[in-house]
Amino acid sequence: MATTGSHLVDRRAATGLGLFTLRGIAAGKRIIEYTGPIVTAEEVARRRGRYFFEIDERYAVDGSPRTNRARYINHSCRPNAEAFVTGRRVWVWSKEAIEAGAEVTLDYGKAYFDDYIRPKGCQCAGCRPWEGGAAAAKE
């Protein structure tokens, strides 16, 4: 378990490592930046890999360095956070209030889902409500 800022930790989740908050987060708050070197779309096409975050049609953030804690955020079909691009920076914001101890999740989008998640089956709380994930508990 590693600390991020004052209240975010990565720890084992249903789908591998996940990012959890130790403190409640109100809706509409900036949680964490998705950091990494800026790379071109050509480089993304050449290297592939799952940690590229598209900024626009020409550039992406290569979020693979371990210093990028936001890379631990898992996909959810019912996410509690959302990523927005500001200039060439990517920030993750809370979509709703997130309870202390809950996992922070993002919808990774259709392309990522089809490439990396669909083949194994989605493990998010929205897809496994019987296991009582954070998303399921609120519904």
Per DSSP, which regions of the chain are E strands? 2-4, 8-13, 16-21, 30-34, 38-40, 52-54, 59-62, 74-75, 81-86, 89-94, 103-106
Nearer to Zn ion, 36 or 79 (CB): 79
What's the CA gap between 67 and 16, in Å, rounded? 17
Burial of 5 from C-beta contacts in 10 A (0-12 / 13-18 / 19+): exposed
What's the CA gap between 95 and 82, in Å, rounded? 6
Considering the rule CB under 5 A, would residue 136 count as an interface residue with Zn ion?
A: no
CB of 125 to Zn ion, least distance (A): 8
CB of 133 to Zn ion, least distance (A): 10
CB of 50 to Zn ion, least distance (A): 16
Q: Which of 25, 70, 81, 124 binds Zn ion (CB under 5 A)?
A: 124
Nearer to Zn ion, 46 or 118 (CB): 118
Q: Which of 39, 77, 85, 136 binds Zn ion (CB under 5 A)?
A: 77
Contact residues for Zn ion, defined by CB under 5 A = 77, 122, 124, 126-127
